[in-house]
A and B are shown apart, each in its own frame.
Chain A
Amino acid sequence: MGRLKKNITITSKMIFTFLVIICVGLIIVSYLFADLLSPVRTAVGNFFVPMQKGISTVSGGISETLRIFSDKQKLIDENDKLTSEINDLKTEMQILIHQEYELKWYRDLYENDSVYQNAEKVAARIISRNPNGACDMFVIDKGKEDGIEVDMNVLAGGGLVGIITDVGSNWAKVRTIIADDSSVSGRFQPTSDTCIVKGNMRRMDDGYIDVEMINLNAEVYDNYEVLTSYISDKYLPGILIGYVTNIRKDPSELNKRAYLTPVVDFEHLEAVLIVKTLRENLEGFE
């Protein structure tokens, strides 16, 4: 260190210490006041989203182009198969239309009309995922400009995907129900026993998440449907979450717990539907 002149030399240790202090400070600030730093998050999101949108459009285009080159014979075979399938389905549809009238009548009778089926929905594309590869969070390409708000429910394939946690002008962040910090109040379909569906990324490797707080006396069996319950203040009632398996007593002996197989395939999710009705604005369910 032969150059201790008047002007101070910035050593790497100084930079390092400075950065560590900033980090620790930010951690404490964001832990204590979560909302204080949300403009920063929004700004960063607004900066990256246009680029991510571009990338996902390009990659979508490429995979589309590649599909054109797939085998022609395969397409012809598929066409034949599909045509016969359509005929079958047409017949089936006639029967179903008839049954739907019946169902509607029963629903009116039972006052169990699923709210979300009639609500306005927006389709959105997933443009980026959690950098560590987990499926617990992702960003979609619709935001405030499309009328998306925090706490709106996100669906795909008829099942619950998660909930909006952050919204920017043209993007929104979704926390899925399999995330470790997610918990959804649910009920079993035939019996209406309540439970809590908790995310569990580790167990999701085997395709399950946790169901907790099932009443000891509840009559629940494997493959019962779990829907979102009427008690929840964020999730609309009556959305299918998944099917329950492996019901057993909790170690605390106070209630039962189980595994749940979500209906949504989180690994291969590409597009989602956002229900534009918020739970708090829902009438007739209070």
Chain B
Amino acid sequence: MMIVIKAIIVLIEIIIAYLLQTSVFTELRLADVVPDILMILTASLAYIFGKKTGSLTGFICGMLIDCTYGSLIGLYALLYTVVGYMAGYAHRVYDENDYTISYFIVGGAEFLINVMYYVLFYFLRGDLDFGHFLVRYLFPRVIYTVLISILLYRLINLDNALFYKLSDGMKKKRVVTVFKGFDTDDDR
């Protein structure tokens, strides 16, 4: 039962993040880039709860983008899953009172996914001007995303306390995974 409630909460968060990204922040563009709210959510949840949550959240986020704007279904899902999984490695240094690390993780994840995106979409098509891509697109996007994550991470981090309360204090364990049976033991 708990796992269902937790999954629903995460799903709602994903939907809100998606709406923010496609409808709200597209109006608030800075230097022509939109912050990657879905990546903030994926990387933050991966950092808070571990690789399983990270890769599953990344998968759903990526699928949403694919279904609405992707040319191939599954491509963004793949990138987000991989990045969500990798961000999950940071879970071992998770500290619920420390916000600073999360900004680096979100920034790193955003950098990584954009480089992979570049390799798949531009490099293989013969567009080798990486410098232009770096200055014009990648840096502004990473910086804007990290700035927004400073606001959003605090909200996402509330999940941890919330799930803890919901699960009636899972025996001394402060860190609770979203999906039951998927506890973080093997991730540590």
- A9 / chain B contacts, CB cutoff of 8 Å: 181, 186
Indicate whether A255 reaches chain B with its CB closer than 8 angstroms. Answer: no
Kindly state the separation between the CA atoms of A24 and B82 in the bound complex, as whole angstroms: 12
- Chain B 48-73 interface 0/1 with A at a Cβ cutoff of 8 Å (1 = within): 00111001100100101111110111
Judged by DSSP, the binding face of B is helix
Chain A: how many interface residues by the 8 Å CB criterion?
Answer: 43
Chain B: how many interface residues by the 8 Å CB criterion?
Answer: 48
In the complex with contacts A133-B29, A137-B69, A202-B127, A24-B78 CB distance below 8 A: yes
Kindly state the separation between the CA atoms of A129 and B52 in the bound complex, as whole angstroms: 30
Q: Is the CB of A24 within 8 A of B74?
A: yes
Please give me the residue from chain A that is nearest to B58 by CB atom.
A19
- A137 / chain B contacts, CB cutoff of 8 Å: 69
Kindly state the separation between the CA atoms of A59 and B20 in the bound complex, as whole angstroms: 12
- A83 / chain B contacts, CB cutoff of 8 Å: none
In the complex with contacts A1-B186, A9-B181, A133-B32, A19-B56 CB distance below 8 A: yes
Please give me the residue from chain A that is nearest to B59 by CB atom.
A19
Q: Is the CB of B55 within 8 A of A12?
A: yes
Indicate whether A132 reaches chain B with its CB closer than 8 angstroms. Answer: yes
Kindly state the separation between the CA atoms of A26 and B56 in the bound complex, as whole angstroms: 16
Q: Is the CB of A16 within 8 A of B23?
A: no
Indicate whether A27 reaches chain B with its CB closer than 8 angstroms. Answer: yes
Q: Is the CB of B33 within 8 A of A133?
A: yes
- B139 / chain A contacts, CB cutoff of 8 Å: none
- B66 / chain A contacts, CB cutoff of 8 Å: 26
Indicate whether A123 reaches chain B with its CB closer than 8 angstroms. Answer: no
- Chain B 15-51 interface 0/1 with A at a Cβ cutoff of 8 Å (1 = within): 1001101111011010011101010000000000011
- B182 / chain A contacts, CB cutoff of 8 Å: 10, 12, 15
Kindly state the separation between the CA atoms of A261 and B93 in the bound complex, as whole angstroms: 51
Among the listed stretches A40-48, A67-75, A111-119, A277-285, which one makes contact with chain B, having 4 or more residues with CB under 8 Å of it? A40-48
**Using a CB–CB distance below 8 Å, which chain B residues touch chain A?**
15, 18-19, 21-24, 26-27, 29, 32-34, 36, 38, 50-52, 55-56, 59, 62, 64-69, 71-75, 77-78, 81-82, 85, 88, 127, 129, 132, 136, 141, 181-182, 186-187
Q: Using A15-B51, A51-B23, A133-B32 as known contacts, list a sample of 5 further A-B pairs with CB atoms less than 8 Å apart, ordered by residue number in A.
A: A19-B56, A19-B59, A23-B81, A41-B73, A181-B71
